[in-house]
Amino acid sequence: MTQASQPTGTPPPHRSSHGSHNGPGQHGNSAWAAGGVVFAGVLMLCSGVLGILQGIAAISKDVVYGTVGDYVYRINLTGWGWIHLIIGVLLVITGYGVLKSMEWARWFGIFLASLSLVAQFLFLPYLPVWALIVIAIDLFIIWALAVYRAPDDQPLL
């Protein structure tokens, strides 16, 4: 049996390693996912910088944040400062990687946003409103990075 031939000069159909981009359940991106991952990368950069500042404030002066009475997850504020500082630095680096479409950054970003979410939950008594805002941002970052499938070798920006 012979295979059907294509007319001369017609390029072969492109087959992506990610599968078809046409139907639901496939690996294609919606406009929300494609724009959301850029927004997630920018949010990671901003959240990281704010985490660094939050960490520096907690390390330099323990009196910056209000004291907490009997809280189950009580940690020294200097310890919290170092936790926020380290997570903040990693978020900045990973956010940059997400914007440059680095595959490791997408997966590490999901891990870091999850870690940040847990840290903010434990930090609720010190800054409750801010912690809830960051938890919501972390949830968006996790969603955006989880649903996005980057086209081969194309940076987002």
Q: What is the mean pLDDT of residues 142-157?
A: 70
Residue 33 CA to residue 20 CA, distance in Å, equals 16
Residue 89: pLDDT band (50, 70, 90) is very high
pTM score = 0.71
72 vs 145: which has the higher pLDDT: 145
For residue 56, the model assigns a pLDDT of: 92
Contacts of 36 (CB under 8 A, 6+ apart): 140, 143, 144, 147, 148
Residue 77 CA to residue 55 CA, distance in Å, equals 9
For residue 127, the model assigns a pLDDT of: 81
What percent of the chain is modeled with pLDDT above 70? 64
For residue 113, the model assigns a pLDDT of: 94
Q: Are 116 and 47 in contact (CB under 8 A)?
A: yes
Q: At residue 5, does pLDDT exceed 90? A: no
For residue 30, the model assigns a pLDDT of: 61
Using one digit for the tens of pLDDT, what is the confidence trace for 26-65?
445 566 566 778 899 999 999 999 999 989 988 887 666 6
